[in-house]
């Protein structure tokens, strides 16, 4: 049996939708602290464990790779156990991974990071399909709420990492393990509210095929990936760039925090703006232009102007990511395709994203300057814009959804 467009009904009563939206927000907040809370205490981790610079790079890259590699498992698990049960399991596994990496030495640090990255990857694949299914008439707002939660969680964890370490007497393990508590609270909230729409495995056995042959699916995936390359380059290298241009480490970190905070605005507004026109091509061009202009200005503008351009950069990146997430939903005819396309875009996207900081470092070391990395950023940004324009056309991906035997 082939499933027609928009044929997957919502499974949550209308009266429960506001609580479900709040629960999605709470879950979203937990999908970034396990990443952004590491970098501020990475020096303490290395000093305590003897972790090499290469090992530290592997530690920060591992969860991003997990996002991509594990992504295809999300739809498979949802087909077997339901999306709701799979997300609940992912949240519990996230909490376990966070605890494991904090208190079981170097093996636990890497194993816990892998578990955390894998569980986040699965949850991020499946949440857009639930949004598509249960919020068909309010997709832009709920998608914006979800992407804003991701940015908020990242910003809070990055800002709180060192204070948590200091409050624990300089113990970085406590700073890392703390984020298991909100993950468990998110799991409890999801168990109480998000599971209300759960259905048995017999009702979720659908197979999606043909995405790899869909041009639109590749546009969506490449846009997700290429804008993520720039995002992770900014997270990983912007403070170093600014320090090389005369900023103190404290000021450089504050500029990055300002940029991340600015993302909250367009993370919420981006999906709404994306549904105002005939299609999403214009909003893609606007957001990517802000990203590129803001990044180049942060690298080359006079120091007193950098704070302003950091805001522009944040607006662009927050909007680019939220629109990329929205395109996964808009280009899919039903919730089953959303899960599959989300898996494909995350697989392609985060495998690409993991290469960005590494390539930037290679170019910086090879040229002993930032001009060649800046050219790399421009090339990636232009390629992301072209892919986004392709993804922004008002078309559905070509995919077949069939009930499994």
Report pLDDT digits (tens) over 328-361: 888 887 777 777 888 888 888 888 888 888 888 8
CA of 266: how far to CAs of 71, 191, 245, 276, 358, in Å? 25, 30, 28, 14, 28
Q: Is the pLDDT of residue 184 over 70?
A: yes
Q: What's the rounded mean pLDDT across residues 75-104?
A: 88
Closest of 376, 280, 290, 267 to residue 330, by C-alpha: 280
Q: Is the pLDDT of residue 193 over 60?
A: yes
- Residue 242 or residue 282, greater confidence: 282
- Strand partners of residue 303: none
Task: Please state, for a pLDDT cut of 90, what percent of the chain lies above it.
Answer: 32
**What span, in angstroms and rounded, lies between the C-alpha atoms of 107 and 102?**
10
pLDDT at 15 over 60: no
What's 25's domain CATH number? 1.20.1250.20
Q: Average the pLDDT over each of 51-60, 204-213, 244-253 and give the range with the smallest value.
A: 204-213
Residue 300, domain member (yes or no): yes
**Residue 369 has what pLDDT?**
85
Number of structural domains found in the chain: 1
Q: How far apart are CA 60 and CA 57, in angstroms?
A: 5
Q: Is residue 50 part of a domain?
A: yes
Across 224-228, 258-262, 308-312, least confident range: 258-262
CB 233 within 8 A of CB 360: yes
Question: Across residues 219-238, what is the average pLDDT?
Answer: 89
Which pLDDT value is given to residue 14? 57
49-71 CB burial, b ≥16 within 10 A, e <16: eebeeebbbebbbbbbbbbbbbb
Average pLDDT (384-402) is 84
Task: Indicate the pLDDT class of residue 99, thresholds 50, 70 and 90.
Answer: very high
Q: Is residue 263 part of a domain?
A: yes
Predicted local distance difference test score (pLDDT) of residue 201: 45
pLDDT number for residue 364: 83
Average pLDDT of the chain, as a whole number = 84
Asked whether the predicted pLDDT for residue 183 surpasses 50, the reply is yes
pLDDT-based confidence at residue 204 (cuts at 50, 70, 90) = very low
The pLDDT assigned to 209 comes to 64
Residue 331 covered by a domain? yes
Confidence category of residue 318, pLDDT binned at 50, 70, 90? very high
Question: Which single residue is written with the structure tokens 């991974």?
Answer: 97
pLDDT at site 195: 60
Q: In the predicted model, is pLDDT for residue 278 greater than 50?
A: yes
Least confident of 73-82, 169-178, 190-199: 190-199
**In a domain? residue 3:** no
Residue 4 in domain: no
pTM for this entry: 0.79
In a domain, 9, yes or no: no
Q: Which domain holds residue 357?
A: 14-403
Of 152, 183, 167, 144, nearest to 34 by C-alpha is: 183
Residue 6 lies in a domain: no
């Amino acid at each position: 049996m082939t499933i027609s467009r928009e044929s997957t009904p919502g499974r949550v009563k209308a009266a429960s939708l506001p609580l479900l939206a709040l629960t999605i927000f709470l879950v979203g907040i937990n999908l970034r602290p396990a990443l952004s809370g590491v970098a501020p205490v990475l020096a303490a981790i290395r000093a305590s464990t003897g972790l090499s610079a290469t090992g530290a790079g592997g530690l920060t890259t591992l969860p991003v790779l997990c996002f991509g590699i594990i992504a295809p498992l999300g739809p498979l698990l949802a087909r077997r156990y339901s999306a709701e049960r799979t997300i609940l399991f992912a949240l519990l596994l996230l909490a376990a991974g966070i605890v494991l990496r904090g208190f079981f030495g170097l093996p636990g640090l890497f194993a816990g990071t892998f578990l955390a990255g894998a569980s986040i990857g699965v949850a991020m694949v499946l949440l857009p399909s639930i949004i598509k299914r249960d919020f068909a008439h309010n997709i832009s707002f709920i998608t914006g709420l979800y992407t804003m939660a991701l940015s908020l969680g990242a910003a809070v964890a990055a800002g709180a990492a060192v204070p948590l370490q200091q409050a624990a007497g300089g113990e970085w393990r406590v700073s890392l393990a703390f984020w298991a508590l909100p993950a468990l609270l998110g799991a409890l909230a999801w168990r109480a509210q998000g599971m209300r729409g759960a259905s048995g495995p017999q009702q979720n056995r659908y197979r999606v095929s043909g995405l790899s042959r869909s041009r639109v699916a590749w546009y969506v995936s490449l846009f997700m990936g290429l804008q993520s390359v720039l995002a992770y380059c900014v997270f990983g290298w912007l403070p170093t760039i600014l320090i090389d241009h005369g900023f103190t480490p404290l000021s450089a970190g504050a500029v990055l925090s300002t940029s991340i905070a600015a993302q909250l605005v367009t993370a919420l507004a981006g999906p709404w703006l994306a549904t105002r026109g005939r299609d999403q091509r214009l909003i893609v061009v606007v957001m990517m232009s802000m990203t590129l202009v803001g990044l180049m200005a942060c690298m080359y503008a006079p120091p007193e102007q950098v704070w302003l351009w950091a805001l522009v950069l944040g607006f662009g990146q927050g909007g680019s990511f939220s629109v990329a997430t929205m395109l996964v939903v808009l280009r899919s005819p039903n919730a089953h395709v959303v899960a599959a396309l989300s898996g494909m875009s995350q697989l392609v996207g985060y495998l690409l994203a993991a290469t960005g900081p590494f390539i930037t470092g290679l170019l910086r070391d090879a040229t002993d300057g930032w001009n060649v990395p800046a050219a790399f950023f421009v090339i990636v940004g232009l390629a992301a814009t072209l892919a986004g324009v392709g993804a922004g056309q008002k078309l559905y991906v070509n995919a077949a959804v069939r009930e499994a035997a």
